[in-house]
Chain A
Amino acid sequence: MSYDTWEIWLLIGGLGLGTFLIRFSFLGLIGGRRMPEWVLRHLRYAPVAVLPGLVAPLVIWPEATGGAPDLPRAAAALATLAVGLWTRSTIWSILAGAGTLFGLIALGV
């Protein structure tokens, strides 16, 4: 790693402060005021707008396999999604995904 100590601390401090300001942003600025309906209508879709896009490249091009598609990881992603849709439960969804992944790897797939 080719960074001076001060550069690393600048990065950690900057990332920490910046992340806090992002997280606090609307909690701090808006206070108790209600926001317009069209804003709320957009924000309602924030989680399903960000997280699938965050996951998709990780599933299709897993870093651990150097970006090559991988059957256990693809199957685990499908199992997590399917069980989550079916049960509407985050708990069962995670267990299905982890079980599928480690099961297939244990079987040597």
Chain B
Amino acid sequence: MTTASNTGIFLRAALDGAPFMLVVAPFGLLFGVISTEAGLSLAEVIAFSVLVIAGAAQFTALQLMLEHAPTLLILAAGLVVNLRMAMYAAALAPHLGAAPLRWRLLMGYFNFDQSFALGLQAYEAQPAWSMPQKIAYFLGVALPLGGLWVLVTWLGAVTGAIIPDNYALDFAMPITFLALVAPGLKSPAHMAAAATSIALALALAWLPAGLGLILAAMAAMAVGAEVERRGAGP
């Protein structure tokens, strides 16, 4: 596998990421439609998806705008929702931290749920990969999905297509996240962390958007690490 060409690895990564197109596409389309209907201009809608590329944060911001929240509070809430990506950066750092700065800047921009989850999974399975091979895999997942995200946002914005509620596009995100997590629940420590995350996120749902989630995540990481330290994982 270590002799695989960078192009070959890029294409394999694109294939690994392809199933997520089924959920990224309707989700981005929905963002385009809803944000346009909420009164944002085409340029603003596209800028959201190009500059932020984070579905959960974009929808959080949109929801709070519809509730007429103060701009700075919306900004804070959106960023708190995205704080989890600092953990992604930290988890990727041992694998990608030695890459040249321009590549790290590019991968930082593209460091989202799918590229992180598939990338880390691949790096742990292929410890012998060279840095160019690791970069090729990461971008192979991220470029098609990121490009599609912007494309379908634009499509949703310009067509303003009417999407019936019973198509349940709102549920694309939960399915994406669950499909990312389930295959990784491979030890009692992972199970304990997930259970802690669910219980605390629900219990703290009354806190401002994103804050309960971050507190739940911190506690869940500590629980997972402690269960592992006591010999039950990973």
Contact = CB atoms under 8 A, between A and B. Distances in A.
Interface size class of A (residues with CB under 8 A): 35 or more
B65 A44 contact: no
Contact of A48 (B65, B181, B229): B181
A10 B44 CA distance: 11
Interface SS majority for chain B: helix
Nearest to A17: B51
B173 to A, nearest CB: 7
Given A15-B61, A42-B221, A23 B189 contact: no
Given A15-B52, A30-B97, A76-B175, A45 B193 contact: yes
Contacts of A98: 22-23, 175
A11 B44 CA distance: 10
A77 B181 CA distance: 12
Among A34, A46, A88, A94: residue with most chain B CB under 10 A: A46
B79 A45 contact: no
B29 interface: no
Given A16-B51, A19-B52, A19-B85, A3 B201 contact: no
Contacts, number: 297
Interface string B174-190: 11111111111110011
Nearest to B65: A1
Summarize A's interface: helix, strand, loop or mixed: helix
Interface in A19-44: 19-20, 22-28, 30-35, 38-44
A45 B191 CA distance: 10
Contact of A19 (B54, B183, B198): B54
3 shortest A-B CB distances, which residue pairs?
A84-B182, A16-B51, A24-B108
22 contacts: A1-B66, A15-B57, A18-B82, A23-B112, A25-B86, A31-B97, A43-B90, A43-B221, A45-B224, A46-B217, A48-B184, A49-B87, A50-B217, A51-B197, A53-B213, A53-B217, A55-B178, A58-B173, A64-B170, A80-B179, A90-B118, A97-B175
Interface of A: 1-3, 7-20, 22-28, 30-35, 38-64, 72-73, 76-77, 80-85, 87-91, 93-95, 97-98, 101-102, 105
